[in-house]
Amino acid sequence: MESPTESSEDNRDLIYHCGETLKQFLPIYLSRIRKHYEPSAPRRGFPKLSPLDFHRKSEMASYSDRALGSAIRNISPSVVAVSYFYGVQRKVDCSGFIIRWDDFTQVATVLTSAKLMRSPLGRDDYYIIVRLANGKLLEAVEDYVDYYHNIATFKVKSDAKLKPVDLCCVETSDGDEVFALRRDFHNCKLSETGGSIHHDHPYFGCEQLLSSTCRSSQVGEGGPLINKMGIVCGINFFDGHRCVHPLPTSVIDLCLRNWESYGIVMRPWLGFTVMDIATLPPDTYELMPESSVDRSPADKIEVCPGDSITAVNGSRLSGGLRVYAEELNAASNVLSTLSACGHTNFMVYVKVNDGRKLVVADNLNVNDKKFCSSWLGDDSDWTMEPLIGSQTRAAVDIASW
């Protein structure tokens, strides 16, 4: 991969689309990280990690598979690194990928994790910076944030045409081989881990997630999950075991189309996560709350683990988590349509313990941070020391660095 800091011309391009503050500190940032770049020949593959780091099929993918290598090289220009800067300090890194390009406005849309917007540090002095595959840095503008599905889109303007991926709604089968891609903001390198996708569900608040045996890290959150043909299957999130849990492209596409259609996306908020007990015992499809959030609708009527969810808006559950998700999705579409017309009187009711408890959901915009309570994460990312390249103040003169 070519170094992004080899010429002054590259540096001028790099700050072209940045605000005045960024124009002051990005040259310093580059000078600080330049020493970390080590030119090397293009890599033919990735080193194997210790078996202790992975389980089952999870391993570093190899370019010895020509079809896979070609697929990864084809999608590589679309995979970017995305970082949250608080003032002049780089705090959190994620990955992302370009999903749209407008030839007329020269603006690209980048999809990534909404984790970048969960900062407790405030919103007055932050910047989202996208680093392209060629090392170029672009300042991003917030577009759409959905804390329920944990996705966010940002707009970046580029003089050069950027390559988007096709978010086609590909079907995956349980056990299909997949690869989680990530790009490191610090060294701009693309890497990937392989594994298999599974249609069981992690216990997050979003019932539409799948699971996989791919391993990842915080840097990989928001990157694409692809199959062996290079087709994007979803966006990557990870759990406490650092296994990837993708949100399928079909769900992403629906979220973005609703946003474009209504300009607002509403969703019922109940304040609990659920687990499916469809196999215990056989032929029952009840759901059991796993936890509830303080002062949420569920907490107000004392819903607790062990309670069973039996109906949503009068419809009895007959298909476990899948049907539960479909009911809430349908309610979300109704809420979004009515809210766009100025009406907010549609309510969602969930019966618990066969009607002995009735949870009346709050209608919230998906950009409400109350939805964040269902997702894994802590504030340590934001309170730890700034990442490589940060400084304590902005300055134009870089001669002293």
Condensed to tens digits (0 to 9), the pLDDT of residues 69-106 reads 889 999 999 999 999 887 777 788 999 999 999 999 99
> Is residue 236 pLDDT above 90, yes or no?
yes
> Is residue 264 pLDDT above 60, yes or no?
yes
Which residues are CB-contacts of 339 (< 8 A; sequence separation ≥ 6)?
A: 262, 264, 266, 363
Which residues are CB-contacts of 296 (< 8 A; sequence separation ≥ 6)?
A: 269, 270, 271, 272, 362, 370
Rounded CA-CA distance 282/376 in Å is 30
Model confidence pLDDT, tens digit, residues 321-367: 778 888 888 899 999 999 888 887 888 989 888 788 999 999 999 98
> Is residue 2 pLDDT above 50, yes or no?
no
Ranges of H-type helices in 34-166: 66-75
Average pLDDT over residues 45-55: 30
Which residues are CB-contacts of 51 (< 8 A; sequence separation ≥ 6)?
A: none
What is the DSSP code string of 209-270?
--EES-B--GGGTT-EEEETT--EEEEEEE-TT-BEEEEEHHHHHHHHHHHHHHS--EEEE-
CB 218 within 8 A of CB 92: yes
Average pLDDT over residues 22-43: 52
CB 303 within 8 A of CB 358: no
Model confidence band, residue 382 (pLDDT cutoffs 50, 70, 90) = very low
At 53, the amino acid letter reads D
Question: What pLDDT sits at residue 238?
Answer: 79
Among 58, 62, 65, 67, smallest CA distance to 43 is for 62
**31-35, 52-56, 239-243, 258-262 — which one is most confidently predicted on average?**
258-262
> Is residue 156 pLDDT above 60, yes or no?
yes
The pTM for the full model equals 0.79
The Cβ of residue 21 has, within 10 Å, a number of other Cβ atoms equal to: 15
CB 225 within 8 A of CB 208: no
Question: What pLDDT sits at residue 8?
Answer: 34
Q: Measure the N-to-C terminal CA separation of the chain; round to a whole number of Å.
A: 26
Rounded CA-CA distance 94/184 in Å is 8
DSSP state of 401: -
Model confidence band, residue 304 (pLDDT cutoffs 50, 70, 90) = confident
CB 159 within 8 A of CB 51: no
DSSP state of 52: G
What is each CA distance from 194 to 57, 157, 209, 263, 342, in whole angstroms? 7, 32, 18, 37, 47
**Which residue would you say has higher pLDDT here, 326 or 19?**
326
Rounded CA-CA distance 143/90 in Å is 21
Model confidence band, residue 377 (pLDDT cutoffs 50, 70, 90) = low
User: Is the link from the previous residue into 281 a cis peptide, with omega within 30 of 0?
Assistant: yes
- Domains, the chain, in order of start with CATH, read 266-365 (2.30.42.10)
